[in-house]
Amino acid sequence: MKFVFTREQENFRQEVKDFVAAEMAAGSFTVDSAGLVARESREFSLKMAERGWIGLTWPRQYFGQGRSYVEKMIMNEELMKYQAPIGYHFLADRQIGPSLINFGTEWQQSFFLSRIVKAEKEAQFCLLFSEPDAGSDLGAVSTAAVEDGDVYVINGQKIWTSEAHMADYGWMLAKTDFDKSVRKHLACSEFIVDMKSPGITIRPIINSAGAHSFNEVFFDDVRIEKKYLVGKKNEGFRQIMAQMDYERAGMERLLQNYSIFDLLKKHVQKMSDEGENGEFYAWVKDQMAQLEIEYAIGRLLCYKNAWIIDQGKKPTTQAALTKAFCTQLEQRLNNVATQILGPISQIRTGTEWSPFPVDLAACYLWGPSYTMQGGSTEILKNIIAQRGLGLPRG
């Protein structure tokens, strides 16, 4: 096996690098926050849209550029290392677009895809999947979508909905077959919901880092036209499974806190310059080398996903493996950084005592969520064991 980037791919990487450097030099963003894809700036997304960098991999007939997933991985790697504020379009680009291309109607494709690639106003999405009693077991959703003439009437509750308070549309899984003899995985459907619809109430949940990212979303007799049903009725679960691969395959699972690693390397170099060479420093070097090894592995896992998708194959097991590995690595990074820096690591940014311009304390507090969102590590291991290794269900 020979793993190298082509000249065109290297040129593209340089183009993205130059763009990121120019944007940082112009002050359009700084590397100073913990949340990666939560950082958003529509102006930044508009600049990416002008370059054709939203919908990069979507076929041309769907308003995309028809380029490879490897190129998209290259682009995301260069953007994410520096926490470029791509949150406005990121989710829609990563999984809403591909889902609409696979399952959407002609109207849905033309209406939504054209807006997403241009980062137009009102093109931001959130994911309305989890419920208080349905997280890992998504088939157990109980939010009901009941047909009433030309509309579906939605009643129920979603939870942990990231950025629901910012989103224009929600991509929702709801129950549509209430016959108890029907298997739950064959009883739900996917919808697009206008988040401004009457009957929707959004309540913030503040996480342990003090951030408002999650929400609870309540639906009381929300009426949505039937044209917002995505794909086939009662096939929502199957459709979502395809979507989850995109959610788990990308560089965002590796690079959410990369800036911490970058700064830590500089800090350790400074320790060495200042003559540190005792037992603690030996441990520090060992930890840093281990992190470097694991980052190299995580990067290869991400690129392999892209390569698999470019072969027209599904990366389900590989994507599960990538997310399980990379998110645990990110937690280890925060632990190691906290141990190396000591108590000062707990000071949040914004004071003269903060160790880094990047908020390590916030990264540490966000850390546990990395291995829950988008499929917990246990669920991913189930996928690897059953689908990857062909082991029987326990």
Ligand X SMILES: Cc1cc2nc3c(=O)[nH]c(=O)nc-3n(C[C@H](O)[C@H](O)[C@H](O)COP(=O)(O)OP(=O)(O)OC[C@H]3O[C@@H](n4cnc5c(N)ncnc54)[C@H](O)[C@@H]3O)c2cc1C
Residues in the site for ligand X, rule: CB under 6 A?
A: 126-130, 135-136, 160-162, 369, 372-373, 376, 378-379, 382
Of 70, 51, 58, 60, the closest CA to residue 100 belongs to 58
Q: Are 190 and 239 in contact (CB under 8 A)?
A: yes
Least Cβ distance, residue 173 to ligand X (angstroms)? 8
Q: What's the number of CA atoms in the CB half-sphere (13 Å) around residue 70?
A: 15
- Nearer of residues 20 and 324 to ligand X, judged by Cβ: 324
Q: Are 63 and 123 in contact (CB under 8 A)?
A: no
Least Cβ distance, residue 379 to ligand X (angstroms)? 6
- Helix ranges restricted to H, the chain: 7-25, 42-50, 69-80, 87-91, 97-103, 106-108, 114-117, 236-248, 252-255, 258-273, 279-310, 316-341, 360-370, 377-383
Rounded Cα gap, residues 63 and 94, in angstroms: 15
- Nearer of residues 40 and 310 to ligand X, judged by Cβ: 40
- Nearer of residues 19 and 169 to ligand X, judged by Cβ: 169
Least Cβ distance, residue 84 to ligand X (angstroms)? 20
Least Cβ distance, residue 373 to ligand X (angstroms)? 3
Least Cβ distance, residue 265 to ligand X (angstroms)? 27
- Nearer of residues 240 and 308 to ligand X, judged by Cβ: 240
Of 214, 126, 166, the closest CA to residue 41 belongs to 166
Cβ partners under 8 Å of residue 203, min gap 6: 215, 216, 217, 218
- Nearer of residues 46 and 140 to ligand X, judged by Cβ: 140
CB closest to ligand X, residue no: 135
Amino acid at 138: L
Least Cβ distance, residue 230 to ligand X (angstroms)? 15
- Nearer of residues 99 and 162 to ligand X, judged by Cβ: 162
- Nearer of residues 36 and 224 to ligand X, judged by Cβ: 36
Least Cβ distance, residue 95 to ligand X (angstroms)? 11
SS3 state of residue 159: coil
Q: Map tokens 């054209």 to a residue.
A: 114
- Helix ranges restricted to H, 61-172: 69-80, 87-91, 97-103, 106-108, 114-117
- Nearer of residues 160 and 261 to ligand X, judged by Cβ: 160
- Nearer of residues 208 and 272 to ligand X, judged by Cβ: 208
Q: How many other C-beta atoms are found inside a 10 Å radius of the C-beta of residue 156? A: 20
Least Cβ distance, residue 157 to ligand X (angstroms)? 11
Amino acid at 55: G
Rounded Cα gap, residues 99 and 229, in angstroms: 12
Least Cβ distance, residue 122 to ligand X (angstroms)? 19
